Amino acid sequence: MGLYSAAAAVIEQPAEPLLVVISGPSGVGKDTVLDRMKQRGLPFHFVVTATTRPRRPGEVEGEDYFFVGEQEFLDMIEKGELIEHALVYNDHKGVPRQQIRAAMESGQDVVMRVDVQGAKTIQSLAPEALLIFLTARDEDELSRRLRKRRTESEADLKLRLEAAKEELGYLDIFDYVVLNADSTVETAVDTILAIIEAEHHRINPRRVNL
């Protein structure tokens, strides 16, 4: 019964909450994917970003964003209250640390979207965060060339890999890559949920300290 008991001990632990970071290039559809995830009614905490951008009609304080003044935002940075922040089109955006902590302490998985630079920052702060890279399958020339590379000579392949090295440097910080083409948003969400489900069954769970 030894194995039963040891495994039961793993099972009996409340699942370690995950910090799920959804990133990818601008325009890849991160917001759409997050919206669809929210519609599934799952017990995740979706991080609400703080921003200095003026509220737009229809936007709800504390739901779409926390709308804060410039000085208030700078104070939050000063006090280390944001785990990540960026200046986007002259507006500040930042991710409140305490919000994430509180949700994780209550046992909830936390889901957030950030750009690739932000993902890098979070990965260095919390190496155990679960980083998912959303990608689109584009049809440009480079993509077509890369698709063909399996039939190329070793020398050609090497050249292309060297050229892709810098780009791949970004990818290496991520754990998973998920395709989000126009027709596949629901599939992308399914895959993300499968990843989260799987990660909750790891023998060695991720333990995030923020």
Which of 44, 45, 66 is CA-nearest to residue 55? Answer: 66
Given the complex with its own copies, which of 102 and 163 has the nearer CB atom? Answer: 163
Helices 185-199, 30-39: inter-axial angle, 10-degree rounding = 70
203 binds its own copies (CB under 8 A): yes
Q: Per CB under 8 A, which region of 32-40, 66-74, 105-113, 192-200 contacts its own copies?
A: 192-200
Q: Which residues contact 167 (CB under 8 A, 6 or more apart)?
A: none
The residue within the footprint of its own copies, chosen from 72, 149, 152, 159 (CB under 8 A), is 149
CA-based R_g, the chain, Å: 20
Looking up tokens 């780009």 gives: 167
Task: Give me the least distance between CB of 93 and its own copies, in Å please.
Answer: 19
Looking up tokens 């994780």 gives: 104
Query: 149 catalytic, yes or no?
Result: yes
The residue within the footprint of its own copies, chosen from 53, 74, 175, 210 (CB under 8 A), is 175
The values of phi and psi at residue 14, to 5°, are -65, 140
71 binds its own copies (CB under 8 A): no
| Pattern 6-35, its own copies, x by CB under 8 A | xxxxxxxx----------xx--x-------
> Which sequence positions are flagged as catalytic?
56, 149, 160
